[in-house]
A and B are shown apart, each in its own frame.
Chain A
Amino acid sequence: MKYIKFIVLGMFFGIILSKAEIISWYRIHEMFRFESFHMFGVIGSAVVVGIISIQIIKRTKAKNSLGEEFHYTDKKMSIKKYLLGGSIFGLGWAMIGACPGPMFILLGKGVASIVIVILSAILGTFIYGLVKNYRIFK
């Protein structure tokens, strides 16, 4: 039962990204060509609402459903890791036209070929786990 809220939130997430066409390959292509405001509007407005909400929570010291303070992950600084990792991700994002969330949503939409993409993305994750300690990736 404790997981029901997560399946409901996931469904909600899947419906939003479908209805706003964020899962469309064309929308991502258009974004990288800067020929539409749509995706910038989606991400931008999500971030603006997110920043305001988090600032309110931090200032009012509101508690979460467990009665604790909200958890935040402060990410460790590194330019190479984020810039290089991000760029590799971007190469794939522009090919597939979907980042990880939309990949799974497209599976529900019935796009059969996305299974190949999901499996290879999991393989890519696995390969990172194998090579992450090599010096070039540090």
Chain B
Amino acid sequence: MDWILEPWPWYVAGPLIALVMMLLMYFGKSFGVSSTMRTMCSMAGAGKISDFFKFDWKAQIWNIIFICGAIAGGFIAHNYLSAHHVVDLNPKTIASLKSIGIENAGSSFMPDSIFGIDALSDWKTWLFLIVGGLFVGFGSRYAGGCTSGHGISGLSNLQLPSLIAVIGFFIGGIIMTYFILPYIL
């Protein structure tokens, strides 16, 4: 059973993600995480302010439940199913991160300089996390989906709009990674 505790390779994870999508479809639903944030706005009463949030959110409760399960899954994997929390990165990535001020890349899942509790004493960390979150939330709704809705569900159903969205994900991601992150990290 040791394999469970080791990191899982891509050819295990990818097909299992497809299995999750197919099971959701079998239960009459669809696979897409970012729409839950629209549901949360609606649950909080945002329908009074914008028609975009005026819909029957009760029909989306299953997806909120799915997300709660995902949170529990993250807890279980971290505490019971992991022998270690080291990420085996390409040495080139480690070197380039070091050159922009991120030390010990891969020694944990997240860089401490962005996600560590101590980093929160710097207002720039707050700004970074808030702006990043705003981009993800705004962009996924504008594009009508995120990695799950467009990247997996949409492409699996051969949707051209999803392919355009995924190309967009990479345009934004490459601009940020190569031209902006080196100056703000």
CA distance in complex: A97, B113 (Å):
13
- Contact: B159 with A74, CB < 8 Å? yes
Among A11, A54, A132, the residue within 8 A (CB) of B76 is A11
Among B18, B46, B131, B170, the residue within 8 A (CB) of A90 is B170
Q: Mark A1-29, 1 if CB is under 8 A from B, else 0.
A: 00101111111111111111111111111
Q: Mark B26-46, 1 if CB is under 8 A from A, else 0.
A: 111110011011101100001
The minimal Cβ–Cβ distance linking A110 to chain B, given in whole angstroms, is 6
Interface secondary structure of A, over-half rule: helix
Among A13, A53, A85, A100, the residue within 8 A (CB) of B144 is A85
Size category, A interface: 35 or more
Q: A49-B14, A64-B27, A65-B28 are in contact. Are A15 and B137 (CB under 8 A)?
A: no
Which residues of A line the B interface, CB within 8 A?
3, 5-33, 35-51, 53-54, 64-66, 68, 70-79, 81-97, 99-101, 103-114, 116-130, 132, 137
Which residues of B line the A interface, CB within 8 A?
4, 7-30, 33-34, 36-38, 40-41, 46, 49-50, 52-53, 61-63, 65-78, 81-82, 87, 89-90, 92-93, 96-97, 105-106, 109-111, 114-117, 119-120, 125-126, 128-144, 146-148, 150-162, 164-178, 180-181
